[in-house]
Amino acid sequence: MKLLLVLSCLMLPSPSFAAHQPGQSGLTMPSLSLSFQKTDKPADLVSALRIVMMLTVLSLAPAILILMTSFTRIIIVLSFIRQALGTQQMPPNQVLVGLALFLSFFIMQPTWSVIVHDAFEPYMEEKISQTVAWNKAEAPLRAFMFTQTREKDLELFLSLSKQDHPKNRSDVPTYVLIPSFIISELKSAFQIGFMLYLPFIVVDMIVASVLMAMGMMMLPPAVVSLPLKVLLFVLVDGWDLVIGSVVKSFG
């Protein structure tokens, strides 16, 4: 959210630009140039490589946000509830993704706070080096993933990577922890989705049985069960129950 506020402020025109009238002098626009020059200093090459690496990390930011946070479980559960209701594209995909995104911000807020306080702010103040900042930023994210990762999934990827059994969590490589966390999130999401499907399946079966007993075989059961499922979901305050259960599942 802080990033959005900063970007919004940067998009606003500055007072000097707003006060400038055509024909007046004194307004200078910043210039941006990209050039390749020869250099004999290794430090210049290192700085250029760091910029390239930072741009690469930024290009992977969506994948990091989706797969290394709570977003995966939330969006799958929300998709399950929409399929169980049978409302096709209601709520729309944009609404589900936006809701999952802000719920992820809510759940990950303690982790982000630790990263900003221990890694980002000291690095921006030049109190710590880039390597130290990276390690401090990685630690709380690893701690979050460890709390949501099953031991069975972790052992699976440890065996696939042919690594020795680690003595503690700090010995587990991050490239092993991430896929283990993703598999665990998928399992948790499908378990929650199965539990969400059960009451709606019961409604579908009851409606189909009643229509069959009344001899109304030409009437699709979904036509009758859809409003009943929506009404049931609203009466039991389904969104509060679903969102509350998903958030509490992260402990």
Residue 150 has pLDDT above 70, yes or no: yes
**What tens digit of pLDDT does each residue of 181-217 get?**
889 989 988 988 888 888 888 887 887 887 777 777 7
With 70 as the cut, is the pLDDT of residue 53 above it?
Answer: no
Cα–Cα distance for residue pair 200/190, rounded to 1 Å: 16
Domain count, the chain: 1
The predicted-structure confidence for 7-32, as pLDDT tens digits, reads as follows 344 334 444 444 444 554 455 655 54
In a domain? residue 20 = no
Domain-embedded: residue 26: no
Residue bearing the bigger pLDDT, 60 or 20: 60
Tracing tokens 């199965």 back to the chain, one arrives at 194
Does position 163 have pLDDT exceeding 80, yes or no? no
Residue 3 is assigned to a structural domain of this protein: no
The answer as to whether 164 is a domain residue is yes
Q: Is residue 217 part of a domain?
A: yes
Distance CA 119, CA 134 (A): 7
pLDDT category of residue 125 using cuts at 50, 70 and 90: confident
Identify the pLDDT of residue 15: 41
Residues in the chain: 251
Q: What number is the average pLDDT over the span 102-122?
A: 84
- Determine what percent of the chain is predicted with pLDDT higher than 70: 75
Question: Of 82, 71, 74, 104, which is closest to residue 189 (Cα–Cα)?
Answer: 74
Range of the domain at 217: 44-246
Higher pLDDT, 60 or 159: 159
Residue 23 domain-assigned (yes or no): no
CB-based burial label for 238 (10 Å; 0-12, 13-18, 19+) = middle
